[in-house]
Amino acid sequence: MSILEFSYTDHTSGWEIRPTTFKPSLNLLVGISGAGKTQTLSSLFATCKAGLHEEYVQANCEWSLRIAWQGAEYQWRARTIARSEDDAEVGGTEEDHEDFSEFATESITRDGVTLFERTPSKTSLNGALLPEFNREESGVRLFRADEKIAPLARALAHVRLSYEKLLRRVVREDGLPWSLKRHENSRSISDLSRDLSLMLPLKAYVLQEKFPDDFRLLIVGPFQDIFPTITDIRVGLAASLFPAEAHQRPRKGLLLDVAVREKGVRGWISSEELAEGMHRTLVHLIELVLAPPGTVLLIDEYERSMGVNCLPAVTEHLLDRAGELQFIITSHHPYVIGNIAKEHWMLVRRHGSVVTIAPALSIPSLDTRSNQDAFIQLLNAEEYTEGVS
């Protein structure tokens, strides 16, 4: 999957992201602080989650999302409104009622042919009128079993927001054996990576147990190359890794962690106790190894907490998968910007509440063939320095 174009408007606040075209491989959003880079990623991710009904759908918003997936082009347009008090659940506070939202209008097309359409007065699927359906859920969610809508639902599930604090997670009590059983017939990492239902630490656990050589080659080895004092990485239950936690457990389930061993340090080190740069590096390595082809990975402040010993190696791993995956990332760091071809730079500017994102090459002053010179020209360009007005 790749995101081709996205636009978004919050009619309550006036926040607007003008139609933005993305490259299928790598998009580096650059711009001064406050220009709207983080909000762009947040709005894009929230839109995809709203389609799957996995996140609260904000009222009074409108968007258009155009994607390419499995040889077809889909466009999903929608507008949400606040539900009337009469439609809201009886009881609760006034603030509760403000949270209710529903889809007022919506359309889904594939290669220009309308598959689904919803207006305030009617709903149709594949040209046939339907009775009224739950307006709290998107057409993508409601008709995800339809053979023509299902690919769009699967595509939206491939959009991931990179998290740096999710290596220590609660899993159900049978989570580890269940995950291994689920993949007893998997023959390769490719089979494992396509399972979007497993959280990242569980995927890493299955990789470690079922493909131990690949785990060491693709995760442990590269991490040791960056941090030579690390001697091992282990995914396991916290109660087993850390004796002090043997009698501590969540109310429901068990605690899974990704721990490391380091020279001169007694026992395993929890992911929560790692230096932030080490933790973030480990997350990125695991994400990049286990993301299936077609994943769209959104990474905000890509360089955050990663020092000069981390950035080159992680960036190399990222660039190796660009094209197979689509990246939309933000960064201020000279190394990151200087080592990603300027053809992938996207300049983010904001005038009031309106955000525009355009290829940085549209700036006339970026006329040099050198990335380093282009980076300096970018920082000095009026379009960059006056990115918020």
Do the domain assignments include residue 139? yes
Domain count of the chain?
A: 2
99 plus 149 within the same structural domain: yes
Q: Are residues 186 and 100 in the same domain?
A: no
| Over residues 247-259, mean pLDDT | 84
Quick check: is 301 in a domain? no
Statement to judge: residues 125 and 174 lie in one domain:
no
Is 56 found in the same domain as 201? Answer: no
- Give the model confidence (pLDDT) of 179-227 as tens digits: 999 999 999 999 999 999 999 999 999 999 999 999 999 999 999 999 9
pLDDT, tens digit, 9 for 90 and up, residues 90-115: 444 444 444 579 999 999 999 999 99
pLDDT at 244: 79
Higher pLDDT, 165 or 217: 217
Which region among 25-39, 320-334, 366-380 has the lowest average model confidence (pLDDT)?
A: 366-380
Mean pLDDT of 335-346: 91
Residues 49-74 have pLDDT tens digits of 999 987 778 899 999 999 999 999 99
Residue count of the chain, please give it: 389
- Structural domain containing residue 83: 2-158+339-385
This prediction's pTM: 0.91
Q: Are 30 and 302 in contact (CB under 8 A)?
A: no
Residue 94 and residue 197 in one domain: no
Same domain, 146 and 226: no
Q: What is the pLDDT of residues 123-154, one digit of tens each?
A: 999 999 999 899 999 999 999 999 999 999 99
Q: How far apart are CA 81 and CA 118, in angstroms?
A: 13
Read off the pLDDT of residues 296-332 as tens digits, 9 standing for 90 and up: 999 999 998 898 899 999 999 999 999 999 999 999 8
Of 293, 320, 355, at which residue does a domain stop? 293
Q: Residues 33-44: what's their mean pLDDT?
A: 96
Boundary-marking domain end, from 293, 320, 348 = 293
Q: What is d(CA 197, CA 179) in angstroms, rounded to the nearest whole number?
A: 10
Residue 136's alpha-carbon distances to 5, 53, 129, 141, 223, in angstroms, are 25, 9, 19, 10, 44
Asked if 30 and 134 sit in the same domain, the reply is yes
Per-residue pLDDT tens over the stretch 275-300: 999 999 999 999 999 999 999 999 99
Q: Is 32:388 a contact under the CB 8 Å cutoff?
A: yes
Domain-embedded: residue 371: yes
pLDDT digits (tens, 9 = 90+) for 229-249: 999 999 999 999 998 776 666
Burial of 224 (0-12, 13-18, 19+ CB in 10 A): middle
Given a cut of 60, whether residue 386 has pLDDT beyond it is yes
Which of 270, 293, 316 represents a domain boundary (last residue)?
293
Whole-angstrom Cα distance, residue 124 to residue 131?
Answer: 9
The answer to whether residues 10 and 152 belong to one domain is yes
The reply to whether 16 falls in a domain is: yes
Assess whether pLDDT exceeds 80 at residue 165. no
Please tell me whether residues 151 and 175 are part of one structural domain.
no
- Indicate whether 9 and 143 sit together in one domain: yes
Same domain, 143 and 250: no
Mean pLDDT calculated for residue range 329-340: 90
Residues 114 and 201 in one domain: no
Instruction: Write the DSSP symbol of residue 12.
Output: T
